[in-house]
């Protein structure tokens, strides 16, 4: 729920999913995160207040939290057993069709199509599962899932191996998994058979390693810029970037930044 300028991080992921054509959004949260469900709930009283006060800009923001035709489902993950386990919590709702996973901490900005739309387009043309990747400095491989690919053509390649958070000396490449996945529903039965992995958690990466044995999975180097909003620096960077992209804020934000940089401390 941390905001970047005027909306919470989760809203950016929701907008990206909707742009890619998702009509059912499944939020896997813990039992303490009622704020997420509250935020997506319709805020009649607030809307009325804003309407009466003539605050049209804010009213638009509140009204478009979820557009018509998109439904939200909230699932509580009773215990934080890992990303793989969180994804498994959505099994009954997803059913037997391809689906996307977005980790909202990874905020991706792109002027054109969002990262997920780029990935669903690739999936539509190949039928393969797709995982977003980007190059990371070699010494940072232990913070990510890392893939090895066959014939990477600059934008995508078939994954031949994937490993969760390898030490730099064990990493098969510097291509790191970013929090966007388009997955075949077969992943659910594989997740059910996945035991604990790196960090003592049930890892999505380990189930994907199993998926590779029976189905094609592509790594896709998306167009856009990722901000790791799970870190303080990433949040600061994203805030500056979105301020500089905003019609209203770009000029004053640039001026403030210049003033600050010119100050001594």
User: Which positions touch ligand G1P (CB under 6 A)?
Assistant: 83, 103, 106, 144-145, 164, 176-179, 203-205
- Nearer CB in complex with ligand G1P: 20/175: 175
Q: Is 160 exposed, middle or buried (0-12, 13-18, 19+ CB in 10 A)?
A: middle
CB of 228 to ligand G1P, least distance (A): 7
CB of 88 to ligand G1P, least distance (A): 14
CB of 251 to ligand G1P, least distance (A): 33
- Nearer CB in complex with ligand G1P: 51/237: 237
Q: Residue 221: how many CB atoms within 10 A of its CB?
A: 18
- Nearer CB in complex with ligand G1P: 54/195: 195
Radius of gyration for the alpha carbons in the chain, expressed in angstroms and rounded: 20
- Nearer CB in complex with ligand G1P: 114/145: 145
- Nearer CB in complex with ligand G1P: 82/157: 82
- Closest by Cα among 209, 121, 221, 138 to 172: 138
CB of 243 to ligand G1P, least distance (A): 23
CB of 226 to ligand G1P, least distance (A): 9
Three-state secondary structure call for residue 19: helix
**CA gap 105, 227 in Å, rounded:** 8
User: How remote is the C-alpha of 51 from its chain's centroid?
Assistant: 33
- Nearer CB in complex with ligand G1P: 83/88: 83
- Nearer CB in complex with ligand G1P: 99/253: 99
Output the CA–CA distances (angstroms, integers) from residue 137 to 26, 140, 141, in the order listed: 33, 6, 7
CB of 85 to ligand G1P, least distance (A): 12
**CA gap 148, 192 in Å, rounded:** 24
CB of 44 to ligand G1P, least distance (A): 36
Calculate helix-pair angle for 56-63, 44-52, nearest 10 degrees. Answer: 160
């Amino acid at each position: 729920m941390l905001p970047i300028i005027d909306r919470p991080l989760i809203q950016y992921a929701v907008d990206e999913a909707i742009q890619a054509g998702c009509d059912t959004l499944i939020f896997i949260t813990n039992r303490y995160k009622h704020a997420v469900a509250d935020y997506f709930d319709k805020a009649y009283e607030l809307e009325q207040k804003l309407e009466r006060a003539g605050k049209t800009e804010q009213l638009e923001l509140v009204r478009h939290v979820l557009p018509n035709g998109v439904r939200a489902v909230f699932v509580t993950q009773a215990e934080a057993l890992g990303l793989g386990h969180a994804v498994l919590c959505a099994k009954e709702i997803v059913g037997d069709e391809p689906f996307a996973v977005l980790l909202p901490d990874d905020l991706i900005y792109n002027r054109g199509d969002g990262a997920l739309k780029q990935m669903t387009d690739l999936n539509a043309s190949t039928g393969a599962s797709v995982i977003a990747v980007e190059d990371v400095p070699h010494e940072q491989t232990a913070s990510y899932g890392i893939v090895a690919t066959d014939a990477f053509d600059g934008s995508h390649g078939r994954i031949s191996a994937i490993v969760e958070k390898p030490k730099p000396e064990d990493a098969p490449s510097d291509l790191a998994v970013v929090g966007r996945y388009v997955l075949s529903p077969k992943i659910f039965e594989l997740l059910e058979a996945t035991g604990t992995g790196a960090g003592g958690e049930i890892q999505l990466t380990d189930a994907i390693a199993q998926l590779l044995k029976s189905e094609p999975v592509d790594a896709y180097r998306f167009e856009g810029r990722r901000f790791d909003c799970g870190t303080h620096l990433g949040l600061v960077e994203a805030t500056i970037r979105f301020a500089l992209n905003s019609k209203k804020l770009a000029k004053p934000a640039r001026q403030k930044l210049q003033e600050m940089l010119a100050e001594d401390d």
